[in-house]
Each structure stands twice: as C-alpha cells, then as structure tokens.
Amino acid sequence: MTQPDLSVVIPSYQHAEMLDLTLGALARQSHSAFEVLVMDDDSTDGTAEVCARHAEVLDLHLHVSKAEMKSPSRARDEGARLARGSVIAFLDCGIVVPSGYVAAHLRFHRDRTGQVGVGMCHGHSPETEQGSEWADLLGVLSVDDSGSAITSRPGMADVRYELPDLTGLRMPWVWAWSGNISMPKDAYLASGGFDTSRSYGYEDSDLAYRMHLRGNAFTFVEDGWGIHYPHPRKPAEELEAASFAGWWKTYTSYRSLALEIERFSKRNETPGESELRHLNCMERLHTYLGELGEACAKRGPLPERALPAADERSLLIGGSVGNAEAFTYTTLLSSRVESTGDLWPCAGVIVPLPDDSLDVVVVSEVWKWLSAPQGADRVDMFDMMIADLRRVATRAVFLDAPDGVSPAGTWSVSLAMLHQACSRAGLSYEVVR
C-alpha cells in the first residue's frame, strides 16, 4: 500500500450531508497522495453510504466507534493514531476546501518544520450564527472560484482574517481551531494528542495550548483555507457552557497566566466584535501582568497580621516565592515558571479552586493595579477577582503597605473602590497596612 504524504482526519456524527460536501471537495485535489480517515460515532443517517461512494475516488477509510460518549476529541485522536501520513490535517464535516488544499498544507510543513498550520474557515464565527451567503455563492461557483469573495466581501471571511502573523504573538495557540488545522504526526503524539476524556468544548484550545508549551509555533497556512458551509449549530448558551467547562478543566490543570488572560478577555467580548480587539487585549494584558508579577516578586516580608493561622486553608495572590511558605497556595503572576501543587503562575483574577475551598485569601498590593476598565457593561479584572474570592473563601485580607507592590502601571484601584466592590459581593474583608 502506497504511503500517503498527508492524512485528513474527519470526525463525524449524524452529518452525512455535510460529510458528502467535504469529501466531494477532497476528491478534487490537485495532489492525490493523501488518505482520508472518517471517524464516525455510529451514525444512522447514511454516513456509511456516503463514504462508500467517495471511496471509489479517494483513499478513504471509515472507522465506526461504538463508544457510549459521542466525542470529537476521541474520534480525532483515534484517527490521528491510525494515520499513515507524516502530516495530519484535521478537518470538520461541512468544511469545503479548494483543489490546492492538500498541496498547500504539505508545502507549509515542508517549509516550516515542526509548526502547526492553521487554516481559515471562511464563514465561521464562534460567537454568531452564520448567514446563507456562502451557500448562495457555492450554488453558482466552484470552491476555487468562490475564494475571490473573501477580498471583495470581507464580511464573509473567517473572523481571524484580519489578524497578524501568529508567530509574533505571545498567545498564538488561542487561534488554532480544529475545524481546519494541520501538524506533523510526531508533534501531535509528543503533545499527548486530544484529551479523549472530553466530549465537546475547548478540546482544540487544550491541545493547542499543550503544543505551545512544547515549543510548537503556529502560523496561518496560505491557500490552506476552507469554507464553513452553513448548517444548524447548538444553542449559544450550550456552546458557551461547554466551552467554559472545557476551559475550566484545562485551567485547573495548568493554572497559567495565559489561560486566565484568555478567559478574562473572552468575558469582555461582544458577539460579532472584532477578533483583532480580542487579540490586542490579550497581548496587552500578558505584557502588563507580567510586569506586575516582576514587581510582586520584589515584595518584602508580609505583615504578621496578614499571615493565616497554621490550620487555615489559605491563598496568597500576587506574592513571591519568598512569601509562599506560610500559605497553602500562592500565585506568582508569571508566565516563566511552571505550575506546581502550591505555586501557580497566574494572577488570581480567576481562582482555580472549587467553591468554598479556602478559609482566607490574602491579596498583596497587586489589587491596586487590576482595574483595566473595559466599559460600563463589562467586568474588569478587579471585579472578577472580588467575585471569585467570594466564591472560594470565607474572608479576605488586602495589603496596603506604602512600600508594597508598586509597579509603573496606571490601572489603579482606590480604597473606596475596594470597599464598594467587597460590599456589593458580600465579601468579609479587612485591610492591613
């Protein structure tokens, strides 16, 4: 059997019509040395018949799972491990690609060893319902010919179309969505692959984050785009709940500044808003909080009055390694250290613990620099932190020493604002100078 250059892995469940469109586009590729693995979760809608028809043209293999949980993560992972190509491309049902798609992804991986190739999905938005424009256009033009609409009608483009080169970003993994993405098989396996314990929600970001931690770079694949054919999607509330649950699982595992920043920025998005604004917010926060963490690391010993009792479950937010000994957990506001059981490289704006799990949270003077207002109808970092402290702790202590954490930042919070926020949240607190 001829070794394929690339393996396309497609998870499928009850999407025979969408799968038919995707396989039809793959059957018209200019580069033919590739295989297709359809990983189906035991569909009953004619998926097998669709695959049989396209197998007459494609090197196509249908694998049916009888697992009780329908999981695109498990399906993609099983497909990746069965893949014979040295490059894996993950493609979703309903993504139709131009004839040069496979060639473009192979060319990308020939020129960029070890990188993750991010393909556009024109028409797709994670936050808003897709219109019928692409379906109308594809009714009269081929996929190849319809690509010109991306420049003439920018509203039809992928919401990431306006973003800069991902290689220069601190958080490039945020934009690596599994609807159209490719990577070397060995890099995929080294990362551990998709988390097969997940059903749906954040599974692609979880994988991308782990690959980022391993040093894999991310870049958009020129000419490796696809078109997201319009089809019904789950309700927005269900999608958001699944995304949050998936993010929470990853965040509580890594407790990282980057994951915290991503969630904070997402909380401040408006559906349909520019992804470039989201990107700029995250990049700015990453820089700012990193500088704030450097100031925290220089803080001297904490006042005796601020230290928890020996039997109290405690968290210090905005501390240093030298401050950590008296606390159960400490946040370091750093992206340069690895999380351990008790030292977390995050800001503490979102506390990665269950409800009512602490007796006391002590917040260094870092609280003074967490305003970052985003608008009257949105939540800033300080308000989010206060809400989470109320969720996890019985009481809080805020430090206000004149020689404490004092960075060059300008996002300041006053004592009056602290009093108001704690009162609104019903948080029992004291200020220690």
The β-bridge relationship of strands 226-228 and 358-363 is unpaired
Q: Provide the pLDDT for residue 232.
A: 79
- What gap in Å lies between CA 211 and CA 351, rounded to an integer? 24
Q: Provide the pLDDT for residue 67.
A: 86
Q: Provide the pLDDT for residue 240.
A: 87
Residue keyed to tokens 């008296």 = 326
With CA atoms as reference, report the closest residue to 346 among 255, 248, 413.
255
Residue 377 has pLDDT above 50, yes or no: no
- Which pairs count as long-range contacts for 297-306, CB under 8 Å and 24+ apart, including other chains? 297/321, 297/332, 297/334, 298/405, 299/323, 299/364, 299/365, 299/404, 299/405, 300/403, 302/326, 302/362, 302/364, 302/399, 303/399, 303/401, 303/432, 303/433, 305/432, 306/362, 306/397, 306/399, 306/432
Question: What number is the average pLDDT over the span 393-419?
Answer: 83
Question: What number is the average pLDDT over the span 77-89?
Answer: 97
Q: What are the backbone dihedrals phi and psi of residue 117, each rounded to the nearest 5 degrees, phi first?
A: -95, 120
Q: What is the pLDDT of residues 214-239, one digit of tens each?
A: 999 999 999 999 999 988 778 888 88
Q: What is the pLDDT of residues 321-348, one digit of tens each?
A: 889 999 999 999 888 888 898 999 999 9
Q: Provide the pLDDT for residue 137.
A: 93
Locate 23 and state its tokens: 């396989």
Residue 375 has pLDDT above 60, yes or no: no
Q: Provide the pLDDT for residue 409.
A: 57
Q: What is the pLDDT of residues 296-307, one digit of tens each?
A: 888 889 999 999
Q: Provide the pLDDT for residue 20.
A: 97
Helix residue ranges per DSSP H, 333-400:
381-392
Q: Provide the pLDDT for residue 178.
A: 93
Question: What number is the average pLDDT over the span 128-141?
Answer: 87
User: For 94-105, what is the HEC assignment?
Assistant: CEECCCCHHHHH
Q: Provide the pLDDT for residue 269.
A: 66
Share of the chain above pLDDT 70, in %: 95
Residue 143 has pLDDT above 90, yes or no: yes
Q: Are 274 and 360 in contact (CB under 8 A)?
A: no
Q: Provide the pLDDT for residue 280.
A: 87
Residue 402 has pLDDT above 90, yes or no: no
Residue 376 has pLDDT above 60, yes or no: no
Question: What number is the average pLDDT over the span 411-428?
Answer: 91
Options 3.30.70, 3.40.50, 3.40.630, 1.10.10; which CATH number does 280-432 get?
A: 3.40.50
Q: Provide the pLDDT for residue 336.
A: 82
6-254 and 280-432: identical CATH topology: no
CA-based radius of gyration for the chain: 24
Q: Provide the pLDDT for residue 372.
A: 62
Question: What number is the average pLDDT over the span 362-377?
Answer: 75
Q: Are 306 and 401 in contact (CB under 8 A)?
A: no
Q: Provide the pLDDT for residue 371.
A: 80
Q: Provide the pLDDT for residue 378.
A: 59
Reported confidence tier of residue 4, pLDDT bands at 50, 70, 90: very high
Measured torsion, CA atoms of residues 332, 337, 340, 345, in degrees rounded to the nearest 10: 30
Q: What angle do CA 225, 226, 232 make, to 5 degrees?
A: 145
Q: Provide the pLDDT for residue 408.
A: 60
Q: What is the pLDDT of residues 253-282, one digit of tens each?
A: 999 999 999 998 887 766 656 788 888 888
Residue 373 has pLDDT above 60, yes or no: no
With CA atoms as reference, report the closest residue to 347 among 367, 328, 361.
367
For the chain, the average pLDDT equals 91
What does CATH list as the number for 6-254?
A: 3.90.550.10
Residue keyed to tokens 């430090």 = 399
Question: What number is the average pLDDT over the span 146-165?
Answer: 87
Q: Provide the pLDDT for residue 138.
A: 92
Q: What is the pLDDT of residues 35-77, one digit of tens each?
A: 999 999 989 999 999 999 999 999 999 999 988 888 999 999 9
What pTM value is reported for the model? 0.93
Residue 25 has pLDDT above 90, yes or no: yes
Q: Where are the domains of the chain?
A: 6-254, 280-432
